[in-house]
């Protein structure tokens, strides 16, 4: 077995939006990922399920895994022939000890690559409306670590920094904010020099204080900013209010939990993030393809006029079920397709099939009514859906004396890997909205979280059936006007504008 390789990847300052494409590619191929404290969960979610995850997160003055041991972990895993990713917050080589790790690997004859990351020193000010250079104010930027060993004074040449007349960015310096400002004042900087402190830079939970060198320490203390935070000093800080694009996004400041299945979570999550929301991906259900092959084979001996699909997951489950019995989509030649909504229609379109019937309101009742009103009552219908599908569909067809066969092609399982985190956030009123795209996501959420009350957040539901299930648990609900992801987002934006 040959020696593997270590790839140092800068994860950037926050979520996957600021992870480089090369970094994402490295993660996708990783067999082992060794990661730090400040790496966001949605980046960790990009790691393959099969990869070994090793948390070596270090907090200020508390290092659960010493640097020497981290070096050994990287080397040992590579010697096992593994493809190892060392995932570091921000950029690998900016105050992140990446150089030390590479030296150790070099000394042990272990090959390594480096994938630079976006640094918070540039990104956080940008997200706060502060360009670190501007030809009307300065032509240089200087990045300084303001982290001192416990019990020791800062070793910063403040006089040289002041004489540079550039923008100063201090990392890891919140606990030393007063010392930094006093050091700059003692070195002759103007007391009116604009200054900024940015907490959780580039994250949807970002907060900032804009002031001047003389007054910013007290103002930060009054607001209660906490680590991680960085400090910016320079004339460019005066541009913050004018150029602050991030805080003006329509969902900025809202924390939204998305409960869709993992394979379908991305569409809603990405749209919410683009609008400034703090998104927590928490799949509460998963779909598992499961069909009784004998029953399905027997069902396929009949001729059908309509195939009915009640979810996007049902489309891929149909294809898988056909493959299991040695068939493909051609068995439904001359059949028409009725689907519950645009999402299902879009999924069906991937297989070259246009949906023939889509109800105006995307739920089982309206799909059933559309079928009854649109098809010849001598027609035969094949329903392919989850094992616990809505009874409204089959009851309506039965009452109309329409011949149908109801086949289960997949089942829904309840799951949640962030239970304790969500419980704490709900308890602390830290969640604004939980999105539900089906009644099963409501059930999965409730079964997983299992708390006494669910009334301190808004349950944003894709349709009335989902809302009814949410209301049964005492949730405060909002319902999309149309049962689509975009309509759900519209409700959020309208609510925010009305506050």
Name the 3-class secondary structure at 138: strand
Query: pLDDT tens-digit profile of 65-88?
Result: 899 999 999 999 999 999 999 999
At 317, is the pLDDT very low, low, confident or very high (cuts 50, 70, 90)? very high
The total of other beta-carbon atoms located within 10 Å of residue 378's CB is: 9
Q: How far apart are CA 311 and CA 411, in angstroms?
A: 12
Question: Which of the pair, 123 or 365, is modelled with greater confidence?
Answer: 123
DSSP string covering 333-384, please?
Answer: TT-EEEESSHHHHHHHHTTT---SB--SS-SHHHHHHHHHHHS-TT-EEEEE
Q: How far apart are CA 211 and CA 238, in angstroms?
A: 9
With 0-12 CB in 10 A as exposed, 13-18 as middle and 19+ as buried, what is 309? buried
The answer to which of 149-158, 233-242, 365-374, 390-399 has the lowest mean pLDDT is 149-158
Nearest to 168 by CA among 179, 155, 181: 181
Tell me the angle at which helices 67-79 and 98-107 cross, rounded to the nearest 10 degrees.
50
Name the 3-class secondary structure at 168: strand
State percent of the chain over pLDDT 90.
73
Q: How far apart are CA 70 and CA 23, in angstroms?
A: 20
Enumerate residues 6+ apart whose C-beta is below 8 A from 230: 120, 121, 124, 125, 169, 170, 171, 172, 173, 174, 197, 198, 201
Structural domains of the chain, ranges and CATH numbers in brackets:
5-117 (3.40.1010.10), 122-244 (3.30.950.10), 255-284+415-498 (3.40.50.10090), 289-411 (3.40.50.10090)
Work out the average pLDDT over 155-178.
Answer: 95
Is it true that the peptide bond before 466 is cis, omega within 30 degrees of 0?
no
Name the 3-class secondary structure at 78: helix
Q: How far apart are CA 452 and CA 458, in angstroms?
A: 16
Q: How far apart are CA 472 and CA 493, in angstroms?
A: 25
Q: How far apart are CA 67 and CA 103, in angstroms?
A: 13
Query: pLDDT tens-digit profile of 202-245?
Result: 998 899 999 999 999 999 999 999 999 999 999 999 999 999 99
Alpha-carbon distances of 177 from 128, 148, 165, 202, rounded to whole Å: 19, 12, 20, 20
Q: What are the φ and ψ backbone dihedral angles of 446, each rounded to 5 degrees? A: -65, -45
Q: How far apart are CA 164 and CA 162, in angstroms?
A: 5
* Catalytic residue positions, numbered: 36, 58
Q: Is the pLDDT of residue 19 over 80?
A: yes
Long-range Cβ contacts of 178-181 (<8 Å, 24+ apart): 178/217, 179/153, 179/154, 180/146, 180/154, 180/156, 180/231, 181/213, 181/214, 181/216, 181/217
Half-sphere exposure of 373 (CA within 13 A, CB side): 9
The answer to which of 234-248, 312-326, 386-400 has the lowest mean pLDDT is 386-400
- For the entire predicted model, the pTM comes to 0.78
**Residue tagged 């990713």 (tokens):** 85
At 499, is the pLDDT very low, low, confident or very high (cuts 50, 70, 90)? very low
């Amino acid at each position: 077995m040959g020696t593997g390789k270590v790839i140092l990847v800068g994860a950037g300052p926050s979520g996957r939006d600021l992870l480089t494409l090369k970094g994402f590619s490295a993660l996708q191929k990783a067999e082992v990922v060794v990661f730090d404290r400040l790496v966001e969960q949605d980046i960790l979610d990009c790691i393959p399920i099969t990869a070994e995850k090793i948390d070596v997160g270090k907090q200020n003055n508390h290092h659960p895994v010493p640097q020497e041991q981290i070096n050994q972990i990287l080397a040992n895993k590579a010697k096992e022939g593994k493809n190892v990713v060392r995932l570091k917050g921000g950029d690998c080589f900016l105050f992140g000890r990446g150089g030390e790790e590479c030296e150790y690997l070099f000394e042990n004859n272990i090959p390594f690559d480096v994938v630079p990351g976006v640094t918070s020193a540039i990104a956080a000010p940008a997200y706060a409306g502060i360009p670190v250079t501007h030809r009307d104010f300065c032509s240089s930027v200087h990045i300084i670590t303001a982290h001192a060993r416990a019990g020791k004074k800062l070793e910063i040449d403040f006089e040289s920094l002041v004489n540079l007349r550039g923008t100063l960015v201090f990392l890891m310096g919140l606990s030393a904010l007063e010392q930094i400002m006093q050091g700059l004042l003692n070195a002759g900087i103007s007391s009116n020099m604009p200054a900024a402190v940015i907490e959780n830079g580039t994250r949807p939970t970002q907060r900032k204080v804009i002031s001047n060198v003389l007054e910013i320490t007290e103002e930060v203390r009054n607001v209660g900013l906490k680590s991680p935070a960085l400090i910016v000093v320079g004339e460019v800080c005066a541009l913050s209010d004018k150029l602050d694009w991030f805080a003006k996004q329509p969902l900025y400041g809202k924390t939204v939990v998305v409960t869709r299945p993992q394979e379908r979570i991305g569409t809603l999550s990405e749209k919410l993030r683009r609008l400034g929301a703090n998104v927590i991906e928490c799949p509460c259900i998963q779909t598992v393809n499961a069909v009784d092959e004998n029953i399905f084979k027997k069902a396929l001996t009949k001729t059908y006029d309509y195939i009915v699909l009640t979810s996007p997951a049902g489309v891929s489950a149909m294809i898988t079920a056909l493959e299991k019995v040695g068939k493909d989509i051609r068995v439904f030649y001359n059949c028409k397709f009725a689907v519950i909504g645009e999402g299902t229609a879009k999924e069906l379109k991937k297989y070259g099939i246009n949906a023939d019937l889509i109800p105006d309101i995307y739920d089982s009742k309206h799909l059933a009514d559309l079928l009854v009103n649109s098809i010849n009552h001598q027609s035969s219908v094949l329903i392919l859906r989850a094992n616990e599908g809505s009874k409204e569909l089959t009851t309506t067809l039965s009452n109309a004396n329409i011949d149908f066969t109801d086949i289960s092609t997949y089942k829904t399982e309840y799951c949640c890997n962030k239970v304790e985190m969500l419980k704490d956030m709900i308890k602390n009123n830290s969640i604004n909205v939980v999105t539900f795209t089906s009644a099963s996501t409501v059930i999965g959420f409730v079964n997983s979280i299992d708390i006494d009350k669910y009334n301190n957040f808004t349950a944003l539901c894709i349709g009335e059936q989902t809302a009814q299930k949410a209301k049964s648990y005492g949730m405060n609900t909002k319902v999309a006007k149309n049962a689509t992801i975009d309509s759900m987002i519209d409700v959020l934006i309208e609510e925010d504008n009305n506050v």
